Structure 1
Amino acid sequence: MQPVAKPLLTPGAAPSVAPTIYRILLAISLVHLLNDAMQAVVPALYPILQKSMHLTYTQVGFISFFFNMTSSILQPAVGYFTDKRPSPFLLPLGMLASMAGMVGLAMAPSFGWVLFAAMFVGLGSAVFHPEGSRVAHMAAGARKGFAQSIYQVGGNTGQSLAPLMTAFVFVPLGQPGAAWFTSFAALAILVLFGVSKWYRQQLATGAVIKKGKKAVSEIVTNNVKFAITLLVLIVFARSWYSASVSNFYQFFLIEKFHLDTADVQQFVFLFMAAGAVGTFFGGPLADRFGKWRVILFSLIGAAPFALALPHVSLFWAYPILLCMGAILSSSFSVTVVYAQELIPGSVGLVSGLITGLAFGMGAIGAVVLGKFADVYGMSTMMTTCSFLPILGLLTLALPKDAKSKKATA
C-alpha cells in the first residue's frame, strides 16, 4: 500500500458559526451513558453466566459476537437510511428494543436465549449510535471535536460501569439483576423525547440537509476510500485490544493470581474509567493539535503499556491500566470526527461505519480470542494481543488534517 500523498482534510469553505447547544449535548451524552451502561450489562454477566451455565471461553466470545454484530452490521444501514430520511423519533423507539433485551437477559433460561436477548440490546444500540452522533454533530456548532468528546464520554462512562455491575449487582443478585436496568431504558426514553423534539425543529428550519446519491459519488474518491479503509483497520486494532482487556483480562487475573470474581473487577473498572477520561480530553486535544496526531499517539503511546501488562505484578497493573486506558481511548471520538470530514454530508453513515462496522470486527475478535484462550491458554492470548496497538503505525499513511500539517511544517 502506498501512503496517501494528497491531503484530503481541509478546513472547509464555510466554517460553522452556529452556537454550541450544550443542553442537547449533555442530554445526548446522558442517554449515551444509559445506553452503553445497558450494553455493559452483557459483559458484566459473563463471569456469572460462565459459572451458572458452565460456558467455555468460546461461548463467552459468541455472546459478545451476537451482541456486537447485531449492533455493528445495522449501524451503517441505519446511518445510511437516516442520512436520506432523518427520523427524530427513531431514537426513543430503538431504546424500547434495549429495554426488551434487559428483560430477556434477566429471564434467559439457557445459552441460546442469552444470545437472543443480547441481540435485542444490540438492536437498540444500532439505532441509537448513528442518530446520537448526528445530534451531537448538529449541536456542536464550530466545536466538532469537543462535541464528539462530550457525546462519546457518556458512552465510555457507561461501559466502565460493567465491572461495578458485576461486583455489586450480579455477584449478589445473579442473572435476574439485569431487570433493574430497565429503569435505565425508561429514563433514556424520557430524555430522548425532548431531544427528538429539538431534532424535529432543526429539520423544520432546514438545519439538517439530506444527502442525495449524486453527492456520494462526487465525494467518495479512491483516495478517500483508501483512507477510510485504513481508519477502519486502526479502529479494528484498538477494538480487538480493548476487547481482550474488557472481556478477558478478568479471567487472566483469576487464573494467574487466583483472585475471586468480585476482586478482579476493580482492575477492569480502572481501565475503562481511565478510557472515559481519555475520551473526554481527546476531542479538545484534537481541536488544538490536530486529529491525525491524536490518532497516532493513542495507539503508539499505549503500545509500551500493553506489551508490559501480561508480565507485571498486581501492584504495577494499576498504573499501567490507568495510563493505557486513558491514552488508548483518546482517539475514540476523534476517529469519528476525522471520518466525518473525509466524507462530509454523510454523518450517519460514517458514524455507523466507524463505531459500528469497525467494532463489529472487534466482535469477531471476541470469538477468535475466546477460542484462542481455550486452545492455547489465557496467558498466551493476552500476550499475543499486547502487540495489537503497534498497528497504530498505519496512521502514518493517513492524510494529515489542517492543524497537524501546520504543526509539522
Structure 2
Amino acid sequence: MDAHTERTSAANMTVYPILFAISLGHFLNDAMQAVIPALFPILRSTMELSYTEIGWIAFALNMTSSVMQPVVGLWTDRLPSPRFLPLGMAASLLGMAGLALAPNFWFVLLSVLLVGIGSAVFHPEGSRVVYLAAGARRAFAQSIYQVGGNTGNALAPLFTALIFVPFGQKGAAWFMLAAAVGITLLWRVSHWYGHELGCRPAPSQTKKAQRTDPGHPVAFALALLVFLVFARSWYSAGISNYYQFYLMETAHISVREAQVYLFAFMIAGAIGTLVGGPLADRFGKRNLILWSTLGTAPFALALPHAPLSLALPLLLIAGFVLSLSFATFVVYAQELLPNHVGMASGLIVGLAFGMGALGAVVLGNIADLSSLNTLMMLCSALPLFGALAVWLPKDRT
C-alpha cells in the first residue's frame, strides 16, 4: 500500500474516541451556556428584570458567539489553532465566576459576554476536529458532536430546579469545576488535532478541482440555509426563553414545575439530534432538513391551544422532530463550502443559530408590549418556513 492510499484510508476512518471526547467538550461548553437561561427566573426575581432585559441578556450571549464564530472560523481555515479549544473554555470559566458574583444587570451582561466569547472560540475548531475525525460518516459524526451540545443545553431547566432555586445565582460557581474539567479534556484533544493537521494535506490541496469562492447557486443555497436556521432558532428561542413564563402565567404552576416542560422539549431535541445523523446519511441531507423543519409545524401550531395535559407530549414531539436536522444543517453547509469548513460551521452554528438572540430581544418586546399568549402564537407559525427547503439543491447536485 503506497503513502497516498494509506492517507486516503486514514481519512475515511471514523475516530470514535476523539468524537466522543469533543462531544463531551461540547457538552461542557453548552452546559455553561445553559446556566444563563437557567438563571433567568432567579435574576428576574432578585434584580427585578423585565422580559426585555432578559431578552438583552440572551442577545449578549448569542450575538457575541454568532458574530465571532464565522470570523474565528475564517481565521482558522487559514491558520488552524488547536489551542483555541482550551482557551475558549478558560473564557467561559471566567464568565461563570462573574455570574456567581454579579451584583447588577450590567455585570451580568459582562459575564455573559465572556461566556459568548468562549463559545465563539470553541465551536469552529470543535467542528473542524469532528470533520477530521468523521471519516466517511460525516452526518453521523456531526450528530455525535451536536448531541453533546444539545444535551448540555437541555440541562438548563434542571439547573434552575436543582441548583439555582435553592442556592440562587451563587450556584454558578459550581460550573467553574466543569470548566476546569473541560480545559483538561480539550487540551488533550488539541494534541491529537495538532498531530492530524501535520499529517493531512490542507483541504485546498485535496480539493483543487473545486473553486474556492462560491458561485451564484451555492451562494443562494447558503443564504436559504441560513434563513431556515434563522427561523428555526427564533422558534427555539421562544420556547427556551419564554415558555416557562407562559406556563407560570396561564397554568399557574411553580418555577420548578415549569422546568419539567422545558426540559422535555430540550432533551427530546438532544435525542433527535443523535437520531438525525444516520437518517441524513441514509435519506439525504436536503430531504431531512425539509421533513424536520416543516414536520414540526403541526405540533408547534397546536401547542398554544393545547391544555396542560397535552403540552408535555407536544413539546416532546416538536423538540424531537425539529432537532432531527440540527447536525445536518452544519454538514450541508460544509459540503457547500468544502474549502472553508470552519467558516461554514461558524455561519450555521454561530451566525445563523445565534441570530436567535435577536429573536429573543424581539420576542421579549412582544411579550412586554402585548402578552405571552401573543408571543407563543407568533412563534408557533415559524416552522412553516421549512417549506422553503424544497428550493435547496439535492445532495447529488
Q: Name the residue aligned to 1:243.
A: 237
- Residue type of the partner of 2:218? V
Instruction: Give 1:217 shift.
Output: 6.3
**SS state at 1:45 partner:** helix
Equivalent residue for 1:294, pick from 279, 288, 296: 288
Instruction: Give 1:18 shift.
Output: 2.0
Contact 2:147 2:270 survives alignment (8 Å): yes
Percent of aligned positions with the same letter in both sequences?
Answer: 58
Q: Name the residue aligned to 1:74.
A: 68
Equivalent residue for 1:323, pick from 317, 325, 343: 317
Instruction: Give 1:86 shift.
Output: 0.6
Is 1:161 paired with 2:155?
Answer: yes
Equivalent residue for 2:379, pick from 385, 389, 403: 385
| CA displacement 1:225-258 (0-9 Å, x = unmatched) | 1110000000001000000001100000000011
Q: Name the residue aligned to 2:196.
A: 202
- Residue type of the partner of 2:360? A
Aligned equivalents of 1:279, 1:47: Cα separation in 2: 27
Contact 1:84 1:211 survives alignment (8 Å): no
Aligned equivalents of 2:212, 2:134: Cα separation in 1: 26
Aligned equivalents of 2:113, 2:202: Cα separation in 1: 31
Equivalent residue for 1:252, pick from 246, 271, 286: 246
Instruction: Give 1:385 shift.
Output: 0.9
The structure-2 alpha-carbon separation of the partners of 1:378 and 1:204, relative to structure 1 and needing over 3 Å to count, comes to same
- Which consecutive residues of structure 1, in runs of 5 or more, have no partner in the other structure? 1-13
Aligned equivalents of 2:292, 2:9: Cα separation in 1: 27
Equivalent residue for 1:142, pick from 128, 136, 139: 136
Aligned equivalents of 2:170, 2:306: Cα separation in 1: 36
**SS state at 1:317 partner:** helix
Contact 1:67 1:122 survives alignment (8 Å): yes
Q: Name the residue aligned to 1:348.
A: 342
Q: Name the residue aligned to 1:23.
A: 17
The structure-2 alpha-carbon separation of the partners of 1:16 and 1:387, relative to structure 1 and needing over 3 Å to count, comes to farther
Equivalent residue for 1:57, pick from 51, 58, 61: 51
Q: Name the residue aligned to 1:4.
A: none
Question: What is the root-mean-square deviation in Å for CA atoms of aligned residues?
Answer: 1.7
Aligned equivalents of 2:179, 2:10: Cα separation in 1: 34
| CA displacement 1:18-57 (0-9 Å, x = unmatched) | 2100000000000100000000000000000000000110
Aligned equivalents of 1:15, 1:284: Cα separation in 2: 21
Is 1:400 paired with 2:394?
Answer: yes
Contact 2:11 2:132 survives alignment (8 Å): no
Instruction: Give 1:207 shift.
Output: 4.6
Contact 2:139 2:277 survives alignment (8 Å): yes
Contact 2:39 2:164 survives alignment (8 Å): yes
Q: Name the residue aligned to 1:226.
A: 220
* Pairing 1:299-378 to 2, within 5 Å after superposition: 299-378=293-372
Aligned equivalents of 1:191, 1:329: Cα separation in 2: 27
Contact 1:131 1:348 survives alignment (8 Å): yes
Contact 1:24 1:195 survives alignment (8 Å): yes
Is 1:281 paired with 2:295?
Answer: no
- Residue type of the partner of 1:74? M
The structure-2 alpha-carbon separation of the partners of 1:198 and 1:16, relative to structure 1 and needing over 3 Å to count, comes to closer
**SS state at 2:122 partner:** helix
Instruction: Give 1:209 shift.
Output: 3.9
Aligned equivalents of 1:341, 1:296: Cα separation in 2: 17
Aligned equivalents of 2:362, 2:192: Cα separation in 1: 43
Contact 1:296 1:396 survives alignment (8 Å): yes
Contact 1:83 1:211 survives alignment (8 Å): no
Q: Name the residue aligned to 2:4.
A: none
**SS state at 1:345 partner:** coil
Instruction: Give 1:203 shift.
Output: 1.5
Contact 1:279 1:333 survives alignment (8 Å): yes
**SS state at 1:174 partner:** helix
- Which consecutive residues of structure 2, in runs of 5 or more, have no partner in the other structure? 1-7
Q: Name the residue aligned to 2:101.
A: 107
Instruction: Give 1:94 shift.
Output: 1.1
Decide which moves more: 167-176 or 87-96: 87-96
Instruction: Give 1:218 shift.
Output: 4.0
Contact 2:203 2:338 survives alignment (8 Å): no
Instruction: Give 1:361 shift.
Output: 1.6
Counting matched residue pairs gives: 389
Q: Name the residue aligned to 1:183.
A: 177
Q: Name the residue aligned to 2:127.
A: 133
TM-score normalised by length of structure 1: 0.93
- Residue type of the partner of 1:92? P
